[in-house]
Amino acid sequence: MIQRKQSIYLLLAALLNAGVFFFDLYQYHTQVSGTDTLGKIRVNDNFVALIIATLITLLPLITIFLFNNRKRQISLSMVSILGIFSFIALLLWRVNGVPPPVNGSYWIGSVLPVISLVFLIMAIMGIRSDEKLVKSVDRLR
């Protein structure tokens, strides 16, 4: 159900995670044989990063349609958060493997999962408030 606020947060998280496929994660300049070359780190360069990026993009979308099972929504959101942490760790590991004389910077693709993390935490808080509301209504019956 898209009308719940946590569904909107999950949709935004999925869209932000999909952005890593379109933007560079890291760009750097190196000197190769006296010429300055521009190197880029993208998701498509590494198979493990591609799998994790696909996972963190699809999990919030799947979670939206599990609105009847709130406990499973919370657990899938936690798995997505864990995937984002592993994606960030993999990105940092790959950036540290860049050749030494480097002048580089992080790009938009590396910031999007962090923003997505915030939306996932807000979605979990919304799911928990729905769970409390349902429990309180059940007590009144």
pLDDT in tens, 51-70: 999 999 999 999 998 888 88
Residue 12 lies in a domain: yes
Overall number of domains in the chain: 1
- The string of DSSP letters for the chain reads -TTSHHHHHHHHHHHHHHGGGTS-SEEEEEEETTEEEEEEE-GGG-HHHHHHHHHHHHHHHHHHT-TT-HHHHHHHHHHHHHHHHHHHHHHHHHHHTS-SS-EEEE-HHHHHHHHHHHHHHHHHHHHHHHHHHHHHHHHH-
Rounded average pLDDT over 23-36 = 81
- Residue 41 lies in domain: 5-131
Task: Quote the tokens at residue 114.
Answer: 């962090």
Note the Cα 4 to chain centre separation in Å: 21
Given pLDDT bands bounded at 50, 70 and 90, which one contains residue 16?
very high
Residue 113 lies in a domain: yes
Residue 136 lies in a domain: no
Selection from 19, 7, 40 nearest residue 87 by Cα: 19
Instruction: Please identify which residue in the block is written with the tokens 């769970």.
Output: 131
Rounded average pLDDT over 112-131 = 91
Given pLDDT bands bounded at 50, 70 and 90, which one contains residue 1?
very low
CATH code of the domain covering residue 107:
1.20.140.150
The amino acid at residue 88 is I
Note the Cα 136 to chain centre separation in Å: 33
Residue 107 lies in a domain: yes
Residue 138 lies in a domain: no
Query: Mean pLDDT for the chain?
Result: 86
